[in-house]
Protein backbone atom coordinates (compact mmCIF):
# COMPACT_ATOMS: atom_id res chain seq x y z
CA UNK A 1 0.00 0.00 0.00
CA UNK A 2 2.84 2.40 0.81
CA UNK A 3 4.40 1.78 -2.60
CA UNK A 4 1.11 2.32 -4.44
CA UNK A 5 0.52 5.58 -2.54
CA UNK A 6 4.10 6.71 -3.29
CA UNK A 7 3.56 5.98 -7.00
CA UNK A 8 0.33 8.01 -6.92
CA UNK A 9 2.15 10.91 -5.24
CA UNK A 10 4.94 10.81 -7.85
CA UNK A 11 2.34 10.81 -10.66
CA UNK A 12 0.81 13.83 -8.89
CA UNK A 13 4.26 15.47 -8.98
CA UNK A 14 4.56 14.80 -12.71
CA UNK A 15 1.04 16.09 -13.29
CA UNK A 16 1.85 19.37 -11.49
CA UNK A 17 5.02 19.80 -13.58
CA UNK A 18 3.18 19.14 -16.84
CA UNK A 19 0.32 21.45 -15.84
CA UNK A 20 2.83 24.25 -15.18
CA UNK A 21 3.59 24.36 -18.93
CA UNK A 22 6.91 24.83 -20.72
CA UNK A 23 9.01 26.09 -17.81
CA UNK A 24 12.82 25.78 -18.26
CA UNK A 25 14.04 22.38 -17.07
CA UNK A 26 16.62 23.85 -14.66
CA UNK A 27 13.93 25.94 -13.00
CA UNK A 28 11.72 22.88 -12.57
CA UNK A 29 14.64 20.92 -11.07
CA UNK A 30 15.16 23.68 -8.50
CA UNK A 31 11.54 23.70 -7.35
CA UNK A 32 11.36 19.88 -7.34
CA UNK A 33 14.58 19.55 -5.31
CA UNK A 34 14.40 22.55 -2.95
CA UNK A 35 10.81 22.13 -1.81
CA UNK A 36 11.27 18.36 -1.46
CA UNK A 37 13.70 19.09 1.39
CA UNK A 38 10.96 20.38 3.71
CA UNK A 39 8.81 17.22 4.07
CA UNK A 40 12.00 15.11 4.33
CA UNK A 41 13.40 17.31 7.11
CA UNK A 42 10.02 17.29 8.91
CA UNK A 43 9.94 13.48 8.73
CA UNK A 44 13.50 13.13 10.03
CA UNK A 45 12.83 15.61 12.84
CA UNK A 46 9.71 13.63 13.82
CA UNK A 47 11.84 10.47 14.04
CA UNK A 48 14.62 12.27 15.92
CA UNK A 49 17.23 11.60 13.20
CA UNK A 50 17.72 15.10 11.82
CA UNK A 51 20.92 15.83 13.76
CA UNK A 52 22.95 13.17 11.98
CA UNK A 53 21.16 13.12 8.61
CA UNK A 54 23.92 15.02 6.76
CA UNK A 55 26.82 13.18 8.40
CA UNK A 56 28.91 11.33 5.81
CA UNK A 57 32.48 10.25 5.06
CA UNK A 58 31.82 10.19 1.30
CA UNK A 59 30.79 13.72 0.28
CA UNK A 60 32.33 13.46 -3.20
CA UNK A 61 30.35 10.28 -3.93
CA UNK A 62 27.15 12.11 -2.96
CA UNK A 63 28.06 15.06 -5.18
CA UNK A 64 28.80 12.74 -8.13
CA UNK A 65 25.43 11.06 -7.62
CA UNK A 66 23.83 14.52 -7.45
CA UNK A 67 25.42 15.72 -10.70
CA UNK A 68 24.31 12.63 -12.60
CA UNK A 69 20.86 12.69 -10.99
CA UNK A 70 20.29 16.35 -11.85
CA UNK A 71 21.11 15.71 -15.51
CA UNK A 72 18.62 12.84 -15.58
CA UNK A 73 15.98 14.87 -13.76
CA UNK A 74 16.36 17.89 -16.03
CA UNK A 75 16.03 15.81 -19.20
CA UNK A 76 13.09 13.89 -17.72
CA UNK A 77 11.26 17.11 -16.89
CA UNK A 78 12.01 18.51 -20.34
CA UNK A 79 10.43 15.38 -21.85
CA UNK A 80 7.44 15.68 -19.52
CA UNK A 81 6.65 19.17 -20.80
CA UNK A 82 6.74 18.00 -24.44
CA UNK A 83 5.08 14.60 -24.40
CA UNK A 84 1.67 13.27 -23.35
CA UNK A 85 1.78 12.17 -19.71
CA UNK A 86 1.30 8.40 -20.35
CA UNK A 87 4.19 8.29 -22.87
CA UNK A 88 6.51 10.33 -20.63
CA UNK A 89 5.88 7.99 -17.68
CA UNK A 90 6.12 4.78 -19.69
CA UNK A 91 9.38 5.67 -21.48
CA UNK A 92 10.98 6.01 -18.05
CA UNK A 93 10.44 2.25 -17.62
CA UNK A 94 13.54 1.78 -19.80
CA UNK A 95 15.62 2.72 -16.74
CA UNK A 96 15.53 -0.61 -14.84
CA UNK A 97 16.28 -2.44 -18.09
CA UNK A 98 19.32 -0.23 -18.68
CA UNK A 99 20.47 -0.79 -15.08
CA UNK A 100 20.89 -4.47 -15.99
CA UNK A 101 22.94 -3.57 -19.09
CA UNK A 102 25.15 -1.05 -17.26
CA UNK A 103 25.64 -3.41 -14.30
CA UNK A 104 27.22 -5.85 -16.72
CA UNK A 105 29.32 -3.22 -18.52
CA UNK A 106 30.54 -1.10 -15.61
CA UNK A 107 30.34 -3.41 -12.59
CA UNK A 108 31.17 -6.70 -14.30
CA UNK A 109 28.06 -8.38 -12.87
CA UNK A 110 27.26 -11.76 -14.38
CA UNK A 111 24.03 -11.37 -16.35
CA UNK A 112 22.49 -14.63 -17.53
CA UNK A 113 20.58 -15.28 -20.71
CA UNK A 114 17.16 -14.91 -19.04
CA UNK A 115 17.80 -11.30 -18.00
CA UNK A 116 19.47 -10.39 -21.31
CA UNK A 117 16.39 -11.77 -23.09
CA UNK A 118 14.07 -9.73 -20.86
CA UNK A 119 16.12 -6.58 -21.51
CA UNK A 120 15.97 -7.18 -25.29
CA UNK A 121 12.19 -7.70 -25.17
CA UNK A 122 11.73 -4.65 -22.95
CA UNK A 123 13.74 -2.43 -25.28
CA UNK A 124 11.58 -3.61 -28.19
CA UNK A 125 8.62 -2.36 -26.15
CA UNK A 126 10.35 1.01 -25.69
CA UNK A 127 10.92 1.19 -29.46
CA UNK A 128 7.22 0.47 -30.11
CA UNK A 129 6.22 3.35 -27.79
CA UNK A 130 8.77 5.73 -29.35
CA UNK A 131 8.28 4.80 -32.99
CA UNK A 132 5.34 7.13 -33.90
CA UNK A 133 7.28 10.17 -32.62
CA UNK A 134 10.66 9.10 -34.02
CA UNK A 135 9.17 8.60 -37.48
CA UNK A 136 8.31 12.30 -37.40
CA UNK A 137 12.00 13.22 -37.74
CA UNK A 138 11.33 14.08 -41.38
CA UNK A 139 8.33 16.26 -40.49
CA UNK A 140 8.42 20.06 -40.69
CA UNK A 141 5.74 20.60 -38.08
CA UNK A 142 7.06 22.38 -34.96
CA UNK A 143 4.84 20.41 -32.58
CA UNK A 144 6.08 17.12 -33.99
CA UNK A 145 9.70 18.27 -33.63
CA UNK A 146 9.04 19.03 -29.97
CA UNK A 147 7.64 15.52 -29.46
CA UNK A 148 10.72 14.02 -31.11
CA UNK A 149 12.93 16.02 -28.74
CA UNK A 150 10.76 14.83 -25.85
CA UNK A 151 11.22 11.15 -26.76
CA UNK A 152 14.98 11.53 -27.18
CA UNK A 153 15.23 13.43 -23.88
CA UNK A 154 13.16 10.78 -22.06
CA UNK A 155 15.37 7.93 -23.32
CA UNK A 156 18.62 9.76 -22.53
CA UNK A 157 17.19 10.61 -19.08
CA UNK A 158 16.45 6.90 -18.51
CA UNK A 159 20.04 6.00 -19.45
CA UNK A 160 21.58 8.65 -17.18
CA UNK A 161 19.17 7.68 -14.39
CA UNK A 162 20.38 4.09 -14.71
CA UNK A 163 23.94 5.32 -14.09
CA UNK A 164 22.64 7.24 -11.05
CA UNK A 165 21.13 4.00 -9.72
CA UNK A 166 24.53 2.31 -9.93
CA UNK A 167 26.01 5.16 -7.89
CA UNK A 168 23.21 4.77 -5.34
CA UNK A 169 23.89 1.03 -5.15
CA UNK A 170 27.44 1.89 -4.18
CA UNK A 171 26.36 4.50 -1.62
CA UNK A 172 23.83 2.31 0.18
CA UNK A 173 26.60 -0.06 1.21
CA UNK A 174 27.81 2.50 3.75
CA UNK A 175 25.30 5.38 3.83
CA UNK A 176 21.81 5.71 5.29
CA UNK A 177 18.86 6.35 3.00
CA UNK A 178 18.07 9.69 4.67
CA UNK A 179 21.64 10.87 4.12
CA UNK A 180 21.55 9.92 0.42
CA UNK A 181 18.16 11.62 -0.13
CA UNK A 182 19.09 14.84 1.68
CA UNK A 183 22.49 15.17 0.02
CA UNK A 184 20.84 14.66 -3.37
CA UNK A 185 18.12 17.24 -2.75
CA UNK A 186 20.60 19.87 -1.56
CA UNK A 187 23.09 19.14 -4.39
CA UNK A 188 20.32 19.26 -7.00
CA UNK A 189 18.98 22.55 -5.61
CA UNK A 190 22.42 24.18 -5.79
CA UNK A 191 23.25 22.76 -9.22
CA UNK A 192 19.94 23.85 -10.71
CA UNK A 193 20.75 27.46 -9.79
CA UNK A 194 23.62 27.27 -12.30
CA UNK A 195 20.97 27.25 -15.03
CA UNK A 196 19.79 30.76 -14.05
CA UNK A 197 21.92 32.52 -16.74
CA UNK A 198 20.34 30.30 -19.41
CA UNK A 199 16.95 31.91 -18.93
CA UNK A 200 14.59 31.24 -16.07
CA UNK A 201 11.18 32.74 -16.69
CA UNK A 202 8.83 34.76 -14.53
CA UNK A 203 6.17 32.43 -13.17
CA UNK A 204 2.49 33.11 -12.78
CA UNK A 205 1.11 32.48 -9.28
CA UNK A 206 -0.50 29.26 -10.57
CA UNK A 207 2.76 28.01 -12.11
CA UNK A 208 4.67 28.78 -8.91
CA UNK A 209 2.04 26.98 -6.80
CA UNK A 210 2.14 23.93 -9.10
CA UNK A 211 5.94 23.69 -8.96
CA UNK A 212 6.03 24.11 -5.18
CA UNK A 213 3.40 21.36 -4.93
CA UNK A 214 5.55 19.20 -7.22
CA UNK A 215 8.49 19.64 -4.85
CA UNK A 216 6.44 18.68 -1.79
CA UNK A 217 5.05 15.67 -3.67
CA UNK A 218 8.59 14.63 -4.58
CA UNK A 219 9.73 14.72 -0.95
CA UNK A 220 6.61 12.96 0.33
CA UNK A 221 6.86 10.31 -2.39
CA UNK A 222 10.48 9.64 -1.42
CA UNK A 223 9.49 9.12 2.23
CA UNK A 224 6.63 6.76 1.33
CA UNK A 225 8.81 4.78 -1.09
CA UNK A 226 11.56 4.38 1.52
CA UNK A 227 9.00 3.20 4.07
CA UNK A 228 7.62 0.69 1.56
CA UNK A 229 11.04 -0.92 1.07
CA UNK A 230 11.50 -1.04 4.84
CA UNK A 231 8.34 -3.12 5.32
CA UNK A 232 8.77 -5.61 2.45
CA UNK A 233 11.42 -7.06 0.18
CA UNK A 234 12.35 -5.09 -2.93
CA UNK A 235 11.22 -7.93 -5.19
CA UNK A 236 7.75 -7.75 -3.62
CA UNK A 237 7.43 -3.97 -3.70
CA UNK A 238 9.11 -3.08 -7.02
CA UNK A 239 6.43 -4.44 -9.44
CA UNK A 240 3.89 -1.98 -8.02
CA UNK A 241 5.94 0.79 -9.67
CA UNK A 242 4.09 -0.13 -12.85
CA UNK A 243 0.76 1.04 -11.42
CA UNK A 244 2.00 4.47 -12.55
CA UNK A 245 1.23 3.39 -16.12
CA UNK A 246 -2.46 2.99 -15.27
CA UNK A 247 -2.52 6.23 -13.28
CA UNK A 248 -0.69 8.04 -16.07
CA UNK A 249 -3.26 6.95 -18.65
CA UNK A 250 -6.19 7.95 -16.41
CA UNK A 251 -4.76 11.29 -15.26
CA UNK A 252 -3.47 12.11 -18.75
CA UNK A 253 -6.96 11.64 -20.17
CA UNK A 254 -8.92 13.38 -17.39
CA UNK A 255 -6.58 16.35 -16.86
CA UNK A 256 -4.87 16.92 -20.21
CA UNK A 257 -7.13 15.10 -22.68
CA UNK A 258 -4.25 12.79 -23.67
CA UNK A 259 -5.60 9.60 -25.24
CA UNK A 260 -3.25 6.63 -24.90
CA UNK A 261 -2.24 5.30 -28.32
CA UNK A 262 -2.18 1.64 -29.28
CA UNK A 263 1.62 1.84 -29.58
CA UNK A 264 1.88 3.19 -26.05
CA UNK A 265 -0.40 0.51 -24.57
CA UNK A 266 1.21 -2.44 -26.42
CA UNK A 267 4.76 -1.20 -25.91
CA UNK A 268 4.04 -0.32 -22.28
CA UNK A 269 2.69 -3.80 -21.51
CA UNK A 270 5.79 -5.38 -23.11
CA UNK A 271 8.12 -3.17 -21.04
CA UNK A 272 6.15 -3.89 -17.84
CA UNK A 273 6.23 -7.64 -18.51
CA UNK A 274 10.00 -7.53 -19.10
CA UNK A 275 10.56 -5.51 -15.92
CA UNK A 276 8.44 -7.85 -13.79
CA UNK A 277 10.27 -10.87 -15.25
CA UNK A 278 13.63 -9.36 -14.27
CA UNK A 279 12.35 -8.70 -10.73
CA UNK A 280 10.98 -12.26 -10.50
CA UNK A 281 14.26 -13.68 -11.79
CA UNK A 282 16.24 -11.67 -9.22
CA UNK A 283 14.00 -13.04 -6.48
CA UNK A 284 14.50 -16.64 -7.65
CA UNK A 285 18.28 -16.21 -7.78
CA UNK A 286 18.21 -14.62 -4.31
CA UNK A 287 16.29 -17.61 -2.93
CA UNK A 288 18.76 -20.00 -4.58
CA UNK A 289 21.71 -18.18 -3.01
CA UNK A 290 20.02 -18.27 0.40
CA UNK A 291 19.40 -22.03 0.14
CA UNK A 292 22.99 -22.59 -0.97
CA UNK A 293 24.35 -20.64 1.99
CA UNK A 294 22.14 -22.54 4.45
CA UNK A 295 23.15 -25.87 2.92
CA UNK A 296 26.85 -25.00 3.29
CA UNK A 297 26.56 -24.13 6.99
CA UNK A 298 27.74 -26.84 9.41
CA UNK A 299 24.91 -28.51 11.32
CA UNK A 300 24.59 -27.89 15.02
Cα–Cα distance for residue pair 208/100, rounded to 1 Å: 38
Domain regions of the chain by residue span = 2-296
**Confidence bin at 2 (pLDDT 50/70/90):** confident
pLDDT at 14 over 70: yes
Give CA 239 to chain center in angstroms: 14
Cα–Cα distance for residue pair 146/142, rounded to 1 Å: 6
State if pTM tops 0.85: no
The pLDDT > 70 percentage for the chain reads 92
pLDDT tens digits for range 70-105: 999 999 999 998 888 888 888 888 888 888 888 888
Q: Return all residues near 254 (Cβ < 8 A) that are at least 6 apart.
A: none
Q: What is the mean pLDDT of residues 116-145?
A: 73
Beta strands in the chain (DSSP E): none
**Confidence bin at 138 (pLDDT 50/70/90):** very low
pLDDT score recorded for residue 101: 86
Amino acid sequence: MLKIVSVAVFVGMQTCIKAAGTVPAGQIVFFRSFFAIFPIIAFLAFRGKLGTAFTTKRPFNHIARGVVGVCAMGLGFFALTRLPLPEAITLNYAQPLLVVVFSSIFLGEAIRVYRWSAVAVGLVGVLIISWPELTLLSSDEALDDQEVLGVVAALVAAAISAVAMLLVRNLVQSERTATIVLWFSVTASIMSLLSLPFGWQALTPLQAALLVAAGFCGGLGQILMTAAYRHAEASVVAPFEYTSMILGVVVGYLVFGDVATLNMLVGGLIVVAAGIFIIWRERQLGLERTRTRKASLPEG
